[in-house]
Amino acid sequence: MERRTIGAATLEVGAIGLGCMPMTWAYTTSEQDGESSLRTVHAALDHGVTLLDTADMYGPFTNELLLGRVLGRRRAEAFVSTKCGLLVGEQHIVANGRPSYVRRACDASLRRLQIDEIDLYQLHRVDPEVPIEETWGAMADLVAAGKVRALGLCAVGARAQRRTAAEPLYAETIRQLERVQQVFPVSCVEAELSVWSPEALVSLLPWCEARGIGFLAAMPLGNGFLTGTLTPGVGFEPDDIRARHPRFTAEMMAANQPIVVGLRRVAARHGDATPAQVALAWLLAQGRHVVPVPGTKKERWAVENAAAARLRLTEEDLAEIAALPPALGSWD
């Protein structure tokens, strides 16, 4: 697989990553199976994927434990990205950016993952009660201690951070990035970016590109919608995050089908390509610093996603995708 550099020149990863969250968190828990997920991770590594994206809150903790079973044998083939900063309670999730917690969380992640050093350690969410410089400083200390190679900021929850509804989507994220850059270099930003959620193209992606900062595209397949495998009107299990998502009502899924139809039309010009592969190839075309991180718990999809790294879209393809109608329905 093609390799891409994110942040510092030493951070080289496969062009397509693997989001491990669905294996133990957020999506249809009745279909979660540890042994099947292990096969998925092994298959991804076999097909050139190196970046494995996880977090201590996924489970909580079970996602890292699962990856630890793979990394104990295949550490040299993997680039491990995990996150800290969110605590999962029975009824809610809260941010915790206290330096003492960051240090404990890192040590615990290292134990669960069965590794000596985390390649990319990301702040999952900013704690509004703790100056971000203090949290970032504690994370920088972990680099100095040899426990972490590089630092990143996860901006997946950017909509909730806006000071006003009129403020540009990633304005607060960029303010946070500029503050922590004064403490220790940011190597990577993880944020949502896909054909049906392209907002990061306006300001956040150019900001990262101008500074040589890598960009991990989270939810690159629109929580599964852009794969074309979901049927409008077929509900989700109550514990699936899409069951409460405004864009995944039967009405909105039907209204947004022209996006999938357009991706399928482009895919037809590339032999046996799929809509999902076109959506991932579109992301790869947005810049050499962009690495899509599609999440899956199934081996079949991991192999298909990895193959998207070989798909090269033409200017005609990109123009057709740019002309697709914007997604309908609130994302909040």
CB 223, CB 295: distance < 8 Å: no
Strands (DSSP E) contained in the chain are 3-5, 12-14, 18-19, 51-53, 79-84, 86-88, 93-95, 118-123, 148-154, 188-192, 214-218, 290-292
**pLDDT one-digit tens code per residue, 136-190:** 999 999 999 999 999 999 998 777 667 777 788 899 999 999 999 999 999 999 9
In a domain, 244, yes or no: no
- Indicate if 58 belongs to the active site: yes
In a domain, 232, yes or no: no
Euclidean distance between the first and final Cα of the chain, in Å?
Answer: 35
State the Cα–Cα distance between residues 190 and 125, nearest whole angstrom. Answer: 11
The pTM of this model reads 0.96
In a domain, 38, yes or no: yes
In a domain, 136, yes or no: yes
Residue in 292, 321, 318, 297 with CA at minimum distance from that of residue 307 = 292
Looking at residues 21-49, what average pLDDT do you find?
A: 92
Q: Which residues contact 31 (CB under 8 A, 6 or more apart)?
A: 297
Q: Is 84 helix (H, G, I), strand (E, B) or coil?
A: strand
| CB-side neighbour CA atoms (13 Å) of 318 | 11
**For all residues of the chain together, what is the average pLDDT?**
94
CATH label of the domain that carries residue 117: 3.20.20.100
Looking at residues 68-81, what average pLDDT do you find?
A: 97
Distances (CA, A) of 293 to 76, 266, 315: 20, 21, 24
Sign of the alpha-carbon dihedral angle for 93, 167, 98, 55: positive
State the Cα–Cα distance between residues 185 and 57, nearest whole angstrom. Answer: 24
User: Which residues constitute the domain of residue 44?
Assistant: 3-222+287-311
In a domain, 258, yes or no: no
In a domain, 87, yes or no: yes
If one compares 6 and 101, the residue with the highest pLDDT of the two is: 101
State the Cα–Cα distance between residues 8 and 15, nearest whole angstrom. Answer: 16
State the Cα–Cα distance between residues 252 and 255, nearest whole angstrom. Answer: 5
pLDDT value at residue 9 = 77
In a domain, 171, yes or no: yes
CB 303, CB 18: distance < 8 Å: no
What are the backbone dihedrals phi and psi of residue 30, each rounded to the nearest 5 degrees, phi first?
-65, -20
Looking at residues 2-29, what average pLDDT do you find?
A: 91
State the Cα–Cα distance between residues 267 and 313, nearest whole angstrom. Answer: 9
In a domain, 233, yes or no: no
The number of folded domains in the chain is 1
Q: Are strands 86-88 and 93-95 parallel, antiparallel or unpaired?
A: antiparallel
User: Which of 58, 101, 121, 170 does the annotation list as catalytic?
Assistant: 58
